[in-house]
Structure 1
Amino acid sequence: MAKPIPDIDLRNISRRDELKEKEEKTFYDETIGKISKYNSKELILGTFGGWVVGVGVAKVGKVAAFGLGGGVILLHFATELGYINVNWERIREGLGKSQDILDRLLRFVKNNGCFSVGFVGGFFFGVASA
């Protein structure tokens, strides 16, 4: 049996597309879509991102701090005993590159104040909750 011809009213085709778009929205789109102001969206996303990072840092932080601290102490003793020779010029060059990264980070913080404040607050909540 043949399919019936759909009844399409070309005058309402734009409304049909709007209805179709509403049906295809995800949970994220619906939730973020309810927040009307751009600054509010930045604050919420920054807070959530900071919380996730804070929980991760709290979980991994103790092991990483122990390993990093122990490694620095071992490197210091090895340098003092003459097993390792440190190339200080190369370290200074590496620090110059990190200065550029820090400048870019500070520019981002200045341009995205709401996101940055939310991230810092969320980070502290994440560390405290883990």
Structure 2
Amino acid sequence: MDALGQLIGPYLGQITFGGLAGFFAGYALKKIGKLAALVLGLFFIGLQLLAYYGYVQIDWTRIQASVDPLLGEEQLRSLWQKFLEVLTYNAPFAGGFVAGLVLGLKKG
């Protein structure tokens, strides 16, 4: 048991720190995402009110045509991979961080 402790001991701290850092990042990210959803939802409601009362005219078909290419499965996967790459850049605790990030996103 002592040999196993010596083998994994140096990595245990990195995994623990990475997991905690990932959890806090995921938790904060989810909270910020909720706030962003609230702001965007209120913005949409405001735009719809302005359109309803004739102050603005919105071309939703053109907006959808502009946004659809950004929401493809491959684009979203690539964005997620780039996001993880940025968050774990030069970090020896990347494995623990990603696991903690997922838990933080679920709990946030």
Normalised by the length of structure 1, the TM-score is: 0.43
Normalised by the length of structure 2, the TM-score is: 0.49
Larger of the two Rg values belongs to structure: 1
Which structure would you say has the larger RCO, counting Cα contacts within 8 Å and 6 or more residues apart? 2
